[in-house]
Amino acid sequence: MPAYPLKIAVLVGSTRKGRFGPVVADWFVGQARQRGDMEIDVIDLAEVNLPDFGDEEELEAVRTLAPRLAAADGFVLVTPEYNHSYPASVKNAIDWYLKEWQAKPFAFVSYGGVSGGLRAVEHLRVVLSEVHAMSIRDTVSFHGAWDRFDDNGLPREPKGCNTAAKTMLDQLAWWGGALYTARNERPYGT
């Protein structure tokens, strides 16, 4: 059995100035922290400030983040959709690491315009399978995101998104526990 609470890293994917992402992320982290089965580490890619992939001269931020990712039993990415996909900042972060993602569950909270970030999520599933991560079926999605939260950063209609968050987190907890046990019984080797 896993050593509860599971360690879940919540990645804030948008790094652009004036981004909406923290509003969505703050709400979601509030939901996740209400549970007793998870310990949340918020990793804001704007604060981590990873260099462009391949810049071997600037590895300090990459090395600093590595143990936080390695310690996680699972991930939730809060991501917008840009031009029918996910932001370059997210791809850059995925590309910098490999074993840190392996044999761990990866869930999504997406937001955007009409699509609610769903196309970004579908693209991510393909990419994450390449780094041996297990993408979680159910997601939380906000279309027209900027109209869905009030001035205090709270959802105007919380019932649907709170339920979606619980469904997704229940699946993440199941996979997180199962893969924790599997990794400890037999280290994942590629």
Ligand X SMILES: Cc1cc2nc3c(=O)[nH]c(=O)nc-3n(C[C@H](O)[C@H](O)[C@H](O)COP(=O)(O)O)c2cc1C
* Residues making contact with ligand X (CB under 6 A): 14, 16, 19-21, 80-84, 112-115, 145
Considering beta carbons, is residue 134 or 165 the nearer one to ligand X? 165
Can you spell out the DSSP letters for 56-101?
A: TT--HHHHHHHHHHHH-SEEEEEEE-BTTB--HHHHHHHHH-STTT
Distance of closest approach, residue 90 Cβ to ligand X, in angstroms: 11
Q: Which long-range contacts (CB under 8 A, 24 or more apart) does 129-134 make?
A: 131/94, 131/97, 131/98, 131/101, 131/102, 132/98, 132/101, 132/102, 132/103, 132/188, 132/190, 133/75, 133/101, 133/102, 133/103, 133/104, 133/105, 133/106, 134/103, 134/104, 134/105, 134/106, 134/175, 134/179
Of 89, 137, 135, 146, the C-alpha closest to 112 is 146
Considering beta carbons, is residue 21 or 177 the nearer one to ligand X? 21
Considering beta carbons, is residue 14 or 135 the nearer one to ligand X? 14
Distance of closest approach, residue 26 Cβ to ligand X, in angstroms: 12
Distance of closest approach, residue 21 Cβ to ligand X, in angstroms: 3
Considering beta carbons, is residue 38 or 42 the nearer one to ligand X? 42
Considering beta carbons, is residue 73 or 81 the nearer one to ligand X? 81
